[in-house]
Amino acid sequence: MKKLFALALLSGAVLLTSCVSKKKYVELENQYNDTRSTLTKTQLEKEEIEAKYAKIEERVANYNAKINSLTQENVDLENSSLRNYGNVVLSKNDKEQMKAALGKVDQNELANAKTLQDTMNLIVSYNLKKNLDNNLVAEGEEDDIDIEIDETVVMITISDKLLFNSGSYKVNPKADNLLKRLADVINSEPAMEVLIEGHTDARTVKKGAYIKDNWELSVERSTAVIRKLQDEFGVAPEKLIAAGRSSYAPIAANETDEGRSKNRRTRIVILPNLDKFLALLSAN
């Protein structure tokens, strides 16, 4: 009886031990499957990273090739004494002409020039100012003409008493000599545009007058000067720009006769085109 009981206990222990081992096996098998799945995922991620890295390497190689190509082009340009400025190419001959022109300008101003455009500003300003000083202002007209130069922009202000009768937009014949000299300056430099800007004082136009208001008067005066420059003195129309400011850009008070006289004026703004100017250097 005792033997049978002991045998039963041993059989139960063996059976219990067998059940625990199977459970652990299943657990280990699940862990293995998870690990295998993680490994597979990691492998895929590794392959994706390697593919991305290969693309990056390819892009870097392309960039390096472009940089090397541009560097070589730059060397070639320097060796052939060429330099790009916008759409204009400066040759060795251009540079020699620029050097000769710069020898005439104010050397203190030249020392402050930091860019090619600064340098061109000095050349254009010098040439325009020289022409204006020598050719534009006639004896007795100094007080009625004011000339200002800001870099390459030349502003010429002409009193209306030289150009028009009061309230009229018909150009006075006595202004012909002045406009002829101005046209000579404009025609001497193809690389420029010219803005003709009419200004009036603040007095209102009388009712029933053939001019509606100061806006119309300022524009009519601008276009009258333009027609004179184009039709009688040969200025190319594509170089001319008409503008009227009415009485809204005064330079003096409108409460006095003297102030109103200053406000009645025509302003001529000369705008050199640097790209065309450089092209002209190449053409000479």
The C-alpha atoms of residue 224 and residue 209 are separated, in whole angstroms, by 18
Q: Is the pLDDT of residue 10 over 60?
A: no
The pLDDT of residue 14: 47
Q: Is 113 left (phi over 0), alpha (psi -120 to 50) or beta?
A: beta
Q: Do 276 and 190 contact (CB within 8 A), yes or no? A: yes
164 exposure class (CB count in 10 Å sphere: 0-12, 13-18, 19+): buried
* DSSP codes of every residue in 247-269: TSS-SS-TTSHHHHHHHSEEEEE
Q: Measure Cα distances from 199 to 49, 245, 248 in Å.
A: 71, 5, 8
The C-alpha atoms of residue 118 and residue 121 are separated, in whole angstroms, by 5
Q: Measure Cα distances from 218 to 34, 115, 141, 149, 250 in Å.
A: 89, 38, 22, 23, 13
Q: Could you tell me which of 167, 172, 251 has the C-alpha nearest to residue 204?
A: 167
Q: Is 234 left (phi over 0), alpha (psi -120 to 50) or beta?
A: left
The pLDDT of residue 162: 84
Share of the chain above pLDDT 70, in %: 68
- DSSP annotation of 191 reads S
The pLDDT of residue 197: 95
H/E stretch holding 148? strand 145-150
Tokens read off for 172: 């006075």
Q: Which residue has the tokens 């190509």?
A: 69
The C-alpha atoms of residue 254 and residue 177 are separated, in whole angstroms, by 30
Q: What is the pLDDT of residues 218-243, one digit of tens each?
A: 999 999 999 999 999 999 999 999 99
> What is 88-283's CATH number?
3.30.1330.60
Q: Could you tell me which of 280, 270, 242, 251 has the C-alpha nearest to residue 151?
A: 270
Q: Could you tell me which of 198, 175, 201, 216 has the C-alpha nearest to residue 262?
A: 201
Share of the chain above pLDDT 90, in %: 24
Candidate from 16-20, 66-70, 219-223 with smallest mean pLDDT: 16-20
Model pTM score: 0.55
Domain ranges, ordered by start, for the chain: 1-80, 88-283
